[in-house]
């Protein structure tokens, strides 16, 4: 019996490839290549035997095979038979992860997600097996339990031979062990040791800004305040993690491009993480092009500088390196590739995010002069005689200062699109929320994401005017709390994520923000300018989502405070 037409075999091989992709979602480059090209090549060879097939026949078989695979995949993902068929969302997003890939490229994920919630409701399908949820009932289950785990997004750019940083660890036991090491660096006693470093670096920033003002007394000199606040946060983390390596505040320039490098490195990881199966392709490209080499090289140089310098105080890497008081290696030192990843993470998580948060805080203060004046009055009243600022222990209890910080973090959280968690393939489906409320059934193999930016602006949890900067909403005896429409649901507030994988340095970030905001407000006067046509509307519009929030410029004139 003669073999069937090669195109018939190609149709069949395309259907088989679809079933394999649907059931196993292969990740290796060899498996993906085989399913895309080896099957149609085999079909063309079989049907042409004993002679070799012509190149045109191979092309036709491959085209038919791939077209069949794509057609069946699209049909299935849009069909009522798909496990997530009940959830609305953009049709293209249901079909392919390249929709999310495009959003990551454009760095507008959090804004697009917010618009999707307005269009479709609190649960939206943004991928073949990916849901975003805006509901506080999802937070404890998705982020605070072991019903969901970190998925392939966190290992997409894992360096070869490295377990990665703490953020890359997907195994809960390994993560818990690594977190215990990190937590030693952020105990209450450790934070007290860091306070003089924070105050000193802030004073250096004030001196640098004052010098900038004195250089051109005859005219108003515009500076980019966001850039300088970024320098401050980099220098602080350079001191607290590596014994002082950046010194951007004193120089006023970033000659090595550290600040730009961090943003590009994290954004690159977010792009690749949006399509986890691209990892094997990425690894091949990385070998040829040295992708992200400079990003990890920054971490390596910081680590080597710290190890050579030794501990100037019981800093972050005193604990990560497992040093004793003499600077000798401890028993728990991590493998070198993992130490480089942790050093890179320390720069990113401890500097860029806090610098952006400080910049957002000053944007809101300078566009709300009444709040600025009230905050300055609060700080003046709390400053002991003979000193120039309240001590950190006093700052921690100032209502308006902490309200300003909370409101800033509510409106502009560090990771605006939120983190991803996956229901394991070998688990049962699970329902998120009560049946009478959210009642979302999540089948195994589904990625779930809770966009923080949208959750923080949900009128069910924050009212009135959830889109507006109103620090008074955080003050229990304030005027806003007396309104009938007042809502402040702290269960929906998670600027540092939630659960066992939340930000380990959150208390340091708050301490840094309190000290920096207090000193700058007490000692300097600020005025926004319209440099090069800049308007305040541009600030929020220029905030980009590269996994972490990335800031634009904040032009203003700074002068020593006139008392």
Percent of the chain with pLDDT strictly greater than 90: 54
Nearest-Å Rg of the Cα atoms of the chain is 27
Per residue in 155-178, pLDDT (tens digit) is: 777 776 777 888 888 888 889 999
Please state the rounded mean pLDDT for residues 447-475: 97
Query: Residue 324 — pLDDT band, cuts 50, 70, 90?
Result: low
Considering only 240-244, 417-421, 491-495, which range has the smallest mean pLDDT? Answer: 240-244
Partners of 131 in beta bridges: 125, 448
Considering only 39-43, 335-339, 410-414, 431-435, which range has the smallest mean pLDDT? Answer: 39-43
Q: What is the average pLDDT score of the chain?
A: 87
* pLDDT score recorded for residue 264: 78
In this model, does residue 52 exceed pLDDT 60?
A: no
Q: How far apart are CA 420 and CA 128, in angstroms?
A: 15
* pLDDT score recorded for residue 4: 55
Please state the rounded mean pLDDT for residues 55-82: 87
- pTM across the whole model: 0.91
Q: How far apart are CA 196 and CA 191, in angstroms?
A: 10
Please state the rounded mean pLDDT for residues 284-288: 57
Neighbours of 523 (CB within 10 A): 17
Highest mean pLDDT among 161-170, 359-368, 430-439: 359-368
3-state class (DSSP) for residue 525: strand
Query: Residue 48 — pLDDT band, cuts 50, 70, 90?
Result: low
Angle at 271 between CA 257 and CA 316, to 5 degrees: 50
In this model, does residue 472 exceed pLDDT 80?
A: yes
Higher local confidence (pLDDT), 5 or 476: 476
Considering only 206-220, 262-276, 440-454, which range has the smallest mean pLDDT? Answer: 206-220
Q: How far apart are CA 450 and CA 86, in angstroms?
A: 19
Higher local confidence (pLDDT), 519 or 146: 519
* pLDDT score recorded for residue 218: 44
3-state class (DSSP) for residue 546: strand
In this model, does residue 2 exceed pLDDT 50?
A: no
Q: Which of 203-234 are b and which e, b meaning 16 or more Cβ less than 10 Å from the residue's Cβ?
A: ebbbebbeebbeeeeeeeebbbbbbbbbbbbb
Structure token digits, residue 110: 């959090």
* pLDDT score recorded for residue 544: 94
Higher local confidence (pLDDT), 385 or 293: 385
**Which position has the token pair 């040093």?**
323
Query: Residue 500 — pLDDT band, cuts 50, 70, 90?
Result: very high
Burial class of residue 264 (count of CB atoms within 10 Å of its CB; 0-12, 13-18, 19+): middle
* pLDDT score recorded for residue 1: 39
Query: Residue 217 — pLDDT band, cuts 50, 70, 90?
Result: low
106 backbone dihedrals φ, ψ, rounded to 5°: -80, -10
Q: Which of 21-60 are b and which e, b meaning 16 or more Cβ less than 10 Å from the residue's Cβ?
A: beeeebeeeebbebbbeebbbebbbebbeeeebeeebbeb
Considering only 49-53, 144-148, 149-153, 233-237, which range has the smallest mean pLDDT? Answer: 49-53
Please state the rounded mean pLDDT for residues 85-99: 95
Burial class of residue 337 (count of CB atoms within 10 Å of its CB; 0-12, 13-18, 19+): middle
Instruction: Tell whether the torsion through CA atoms of 431, 432, 434 and 437 is positive or negative.
Output: negative
Query: Residue 256 — pLDDT band, cuts 50, 70, 90?
Result: confident
Q: Which residues contact 445 (CB under 8 A, 6 or more apart)?
A: 129, 422, 423, 424, 425
Give, as one character, the DSSP assignment of residue 1: -
Q: Helix 109-120 to helix 98-106 angle, to the nearest 10 degrees? A: 130
Q: Which residues contact 115 (CB under 8 A, 6 or more apart)?
A: none
* pLDDT score recorded for residue 332: 53
Percent of the chain with pLDDT strictly greater than 70: 89
Structure token digits, residue 49: 């035997």
Neighbours of 428 (CB within 10 A): 9
Structure token digits, residue 561: 């405070």
């Amino acid at each position: 019996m003669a073999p069937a037409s090669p195109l018939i075999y190609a149709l069949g091989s395309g259907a088989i490839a679809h079933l394999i992709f649907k059931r196993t979602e292969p990740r290796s480059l060899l498996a993906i290549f085989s399913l895309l090209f080896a099957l149609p090549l085999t079909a063309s060879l079989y049907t042409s035997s004993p002679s070799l097939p012509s190149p045109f026949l191979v092309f036709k078989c491959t085209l038919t095979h791939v077209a069949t695979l794509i057609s069946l995949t699209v049909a299935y993902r849009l069909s009522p038979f798909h496990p997530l068929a009940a959830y609305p969302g953009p049709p293209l997003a249901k079909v392919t992860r390249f929709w999310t890939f495009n959003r990551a490229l454009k760095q507008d994920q959090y804004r697009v997600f917010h618009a999707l919630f307005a269009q479709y409701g609190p649960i939206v399908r943004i991928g073949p097996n990916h849901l975003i949820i805006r509901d506080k009932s999802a937070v404890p289950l998705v982020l605070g339990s072991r019903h969901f785990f970190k998925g392939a997004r966190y290992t997409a750019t894992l360096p070869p031979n490295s377990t990665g940083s703490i953020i890359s660890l997907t195994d809960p036991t390994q993560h818990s062990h690594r977190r215990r090491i990190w937590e030693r660096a952020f105990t209450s006693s450790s934070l007290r040791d860091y306070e003089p470093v924070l105050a000193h670096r802030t004073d250096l920033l004030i001196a640098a800004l004052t010098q900038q003002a004195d250089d051109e007394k005859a005219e108003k000199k515009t500076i980019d305040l966001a850039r300088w606040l970024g320098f401050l946060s980099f220098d602080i983390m350079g001191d607290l993690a590596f014994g002082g390596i950046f010194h951007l505040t004193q120089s006023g320039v970033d000659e090595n491009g550290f600040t730009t490098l961090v943003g590009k490195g994290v954004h690159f990881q977010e792009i690749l993480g949006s399509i986890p199966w691209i990892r094997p392709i990425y690894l091949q490209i990385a070998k040829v092009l040295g992708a992200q080499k400079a990003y990890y090289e920054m971490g390596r140089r910081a680590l080597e500088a710290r190890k050579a310098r030794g501990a100037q105080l019981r800093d972050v890497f005193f604990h990560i390196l497992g040093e004793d008081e003499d600077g000798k290696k401890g028993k728990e030192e991590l493998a070198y590739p993992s130490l480089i990843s942790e050093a890179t993470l320390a720069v990113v998580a401890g500097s860029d995010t806090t610098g952006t948060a400080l910049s957002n805080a000053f944007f809101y203060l300078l566009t709300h002069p009444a709040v600025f004046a009230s905050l300055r009055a609060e700080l003046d009243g709390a400053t002991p005689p003979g000193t120039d600022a309240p001590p950190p222990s006093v700052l921690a209890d100032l209502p308006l200062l902490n309200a300003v910080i909370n409101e800033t973090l509510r409106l502009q959280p560090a990771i605006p699109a939120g983190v991803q968690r996956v229901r394991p393939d070998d688990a049962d489906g699970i329902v998120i929320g009560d049946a009478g409320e959210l009642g979302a059934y999540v089948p195994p193999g589904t990625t779930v994401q809770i966009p923080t930016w949208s959750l923080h602006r949900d009128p069910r949890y924050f009212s009135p005017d959830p889109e507006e900067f109103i620090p008074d909403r955080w003050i229990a005896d304030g005027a806003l709390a007396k309104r009938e429409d007042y809502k402040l649901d702290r269960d929906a507030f998670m600027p540092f994520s939630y659960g066992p994988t939340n930000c380990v340095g959150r208390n340091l970030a708050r301490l840094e923000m309190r000290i920096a905001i207090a000193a700058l407000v007490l000692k300097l006067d600020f005025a926004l300018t319209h440099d090069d046509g800049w308007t305040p509307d541009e600030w929020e519009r220029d905030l980009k989502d590269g996994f972490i929030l990335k800031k634009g410029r904040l032009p203003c004139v700074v002068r020593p405070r006139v008392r």
